[in-house]
Structure 1
Amino acid sequence: MNCIEKKNIGTGSRGEEGDSDSRKSGEQHSSKSNGSIMGSCSVIDERVLVDPKLLFIGSKIGQGAHGKVYEGRYGDQIVAIKVLNRGSNPEEKDALESRFAREVNMMSRVKHDNLVKFIGACKDPLMVIVTELLPGMSLRKYLLSIRPNQLDLHMALSFSVDIARALDCLHANGIIHRDLKPDNLLLTANQKSVKLADFGLAREETVTEMMTAETGTYRWMAPELYSTVTLRQGEKKHYNNKVDVYSFGIVLWELLTNRMPFEGMSNLQAAYAAAFKQERPSLPEDISPELAFIVQSCWVEDPNMRPSFNQIIRMLNAFLFTLPPPSPSLLEPDTVESAETTSNGTVSALSARSRGKFAFLRQLFAAKKTRSPQMSG
């Protein structure tokens, strides 16, 4: 491994190699123009800074539209090291440094089992963010590796709950991720859970904040991020944390189908179809009405009609309750703790408390079965 001071490395964010359809120009403009937010986040707490002399860079493991990520070492710990560019001119430098400080401050204040663990940051000689290194691959690569086969339904829903929990934590802290997609979801070593990564496009949500539209990645972007006319670079429009709920609906569809959203379309065609034609990926004919309802409620056109992640978690758990028990290898520890176990170790039913907790959702699902699901939005 080479010392981090060896060279200046290019821009980017954690993601897959060649992630070309994330928006760059508008995002940089947003970092500069969001005055009050940037002003309050431009200073990094020195307690989160790491000693660059103890930081070493190894091989590159990811590259996106905004940066490069390397496997490395901090002291005796194997870590992931994200290196950001300082910019080629004073204006760009100010924007990128503000964005870096914002990302560090957000990552350092939110902690959750389904968020990639923040270890520290370094602002000299390079702008660096250090996180835990997950030995598993990204969700995108994992799905590609098993395609055309589909995930086991319990596993797909377990991953979905992990993702929803991570985003529920962010939203509870007033943070919008804005770039939820399989590239930014990383599998743990045992491939039984996922963690959300990459706060590069994340924003703090305030009542009056105006944010740059067309940030994120086209196939997963909420339609309200577009205008009925082409937005001028840097033009602002209102949106809220429900953009993450829309993206989650697309990711959930992928987990259930293991197909690319808007197959056969270019990135721009997919964006146009979702925003201006209200098109959504086709649901499988054999999908249960319960799951169809959850997916469609997430990607409905009106953001105010989309559920919160707290509601999504409850709906997913309620649907999991209706399924036959999974094999022991797929059970999560908290699932085992809340279940009644027979003498041979198999799960027979959830506790009475859990049954009561989700009774109202089961009734809702039962009502949905009486009619065919309709495409939302």
Structure 2
Amino acid sequence: MLIVDFVSSAVTCAKVKHQNFKVVIRNDDLEELKELGSGSFGTVYHGKWRGTDVAIKRIKKSCFTGRSSEQERLTLEFWREADILSKLHHPNVVAFYGVVQDGPGGTLATVTEYMVDGSLRHVLVRKDRYLDRRKRLIIAMDAAFGMEYLHSKDIVHFDLKCDNLLVNLKDPLRPICKVGDFGLSKMKRNTLVSGGVRGTLPWMAPELLNGRQQVRSLKSQNPFMVDVFSFGIVLWEILTGEEPYANMHYGAIIGGIVNNTLRPTIPSYCDLEWRTLMEKCWAPIPAARPNFTEIADRLRVMSAAASQNKALAQKASK
């Protein structure tokens, strides 16, 4: 089984084209329209590629430091993952269009599908965007469909959270959610695949923090279950609109996760079905968690019921 960290990779400044990678995009074919955000990896722009809306992720040269042997390894890894990402095709996974080799100063960039409303985290904190239970279920269901597809391709995300789910709310009745991230634009210094720890702390499964021996043996267990744990936290985010453990110190979060004594507080308004699914996903024992096919099936039933209830309510009000 091939385990690929879907959400991050390291890059170097070497202009090397992977022999199997076909989609290299010319910088002259891109138009930057608006800056969307920036970080240690570089800057993301809303842009156009031959008339199509895209997200352009310009990668800083500061990401390219290291010994020549390390740069070579990271370069090969970058193109390998770019090749894998370019072959993914699913309505609930953000499309990866290609790599730019000839950016300003010889820098690299990635070009991906543009999602008009940005991250789900951004939408959840906006006061002018109300999402009813039915829409929240649809968004969760879409995310589960995307993750089911990635897992079917032997790809583990390792950093699933609302910041990495992108949404389009143009249709007032049917929101669209896709699994994405700033993939191939962050440094891959300490990943689970290379023997370290990968992820964002509040969303990380206990088995990722329970010592080196368990981390090393994770491949022989079921690495996909780390994404399921994270999805349980995502369900809580979608339900509450909040970030988990926002007021806690990282040391306390680590201790709570490792000891399996810490989970987000479930609000009283959470219905039994949502609560049950959420708690199954963040079960301390990986084998006790459902897979994404089971999660998607459960959310499909819940979403259909919510749509039916809404239709009945509208009919009754007439």
Structure 2 partner of 1:117 = 95
2:41 and 2:185 in contact (8 A); partners too: no
Structure 2 partner of 1:94 = 72
- Computed over aligned residues only, the root mean square deviation of the Cα atoms, in angstroms, reads 3.3
Using a 3 Å threshold, how does the CA distance of structure 1 residues 292 and 193 change in structure 2: closer, same or farther?
same
1:290 and 1:272 map into 2 onto residues whose CA distance is 29
Structure 2 partner of 1:335 = none
Matches within 5 A, 1:191-206: 192-198=175-181, 199-200=183-184
1:177 and 1:201 in contact (8 A); partners too: no
Q: Report the alpha carbon displacement of residue 130 of structure 1 after superposing the two structures with TM.
A: 0.6
Matches within 5 A, 1:226-375: 226-228=209-211, 236-239=216-219, 240-323=223-306, 325=308, 327=310
1:242 and 1:109 map into 2 onto residues whose CA distance is 23
Using a 3 Å threshold, how does the CA distance of structure 1 residues 75 and 320 change in structure 2: closer, same or farther?
closer
Aligned AA (2:109):
V
Structure 2 partner of 1:138 = 119
Structure 1 partner of 2:198 = 215
2:237 and 2:243 in contact (8 A); partners too: yes
TM-score, structure 1 as length reference: 0.67
2:315 and 2:86 map into 1 onto residues whose CA distance is 40
1:107 and 1:136 map into 2 onto residues whose CA distance is 22
Aligned AA (1:77):
T
Q: After TM superposition, what 4+ stretches of structure 1 lie above 4 angstroms from structure 2?
A: none
Structure 2 partner of 1:182 = 162
2:88 and 2:303 map into 1 onto residues whose CA distance is 28
Structure 1 partner of 2:145 = 165
Aligned AA (2:151):
H
**1:36-79 deviation digits (Å, cap 9, x = unpaired):** xxxxxx93534211223322334421234544212223223232
- SS at 2:112's partner residue? strand
1:151 and 1:258 in contact (8 A); partners too: no
Higher Rg of the two aligned structures: 1
Matched, 1:82 2:57: yes
1:285 and 1:44 map into 2 onto residues whose CA distance is 55
Match of 2:86 among 80, 105, 108: 108
1:316 and 1:140 map into 2 onto residues whose CA distance is 20
Structure 2 partner of 1:356 = none
**1:292-342 deviation digits (Å, cap 9, x = unpaired):** 2110110111112111100001111222344462557xxxxxxxxxxxxx9
1:48 and 1:121 in contact (8 A); partners too: yes
- SS at 1:186's partner residue? strand
Q: Report the alpha carbon displacement of residue 155 of structure 1 after superposing the two structures with TM.
A: 1.0
2:228 and 2:291 in contact (8 A); partners too: yes
The unaligned stretches of length 5 or more in structure 1 are 1-14, 16-23, 33-41, 203-208, 329-341, 348-377
1:189 and 1:318 map into 2 onto residues whose CA distance is 22
1:44 and 1:105 in contact (8 A); partners too: no
Q: Report the alpha carbon displacement of residue 131 of structure 1 after superposing the two structures with TM.
A: 1.1
How many aligned residue pairs are there? 286
Give the share of equivalent positions with the same residue, in percent. 29
The unaligned stretches of length 5 or more in structure 2 are 1-6, 187-191
1:246 and 1:201 map into 2 onto residues whose CA distance is 24
Using a 3 Å threshold, how does the CA distance of structure 1 residues 137 and 106 change in structure 2: closer, same or farther?
same
**1:124-148 deviation digits (Å, cap 9, x = unpaired):** 433221112222131111111139x
Aligned AA (1:160):
A
- SS at 1:164's partner residue? helix
Match of 1:156 among 120, 129, 136: 136
Structure 1 partner of 2:44 = 69
TM-score, structure 2 as length reference: 0.78
Matched, 1:43 2:18: yes
Match of 1:129 among 94, 106, 110: 110
Q: Report the alpha carbon displacement of residue 271 of structure 1 after superposing the two structures with TM.
A: 3.0
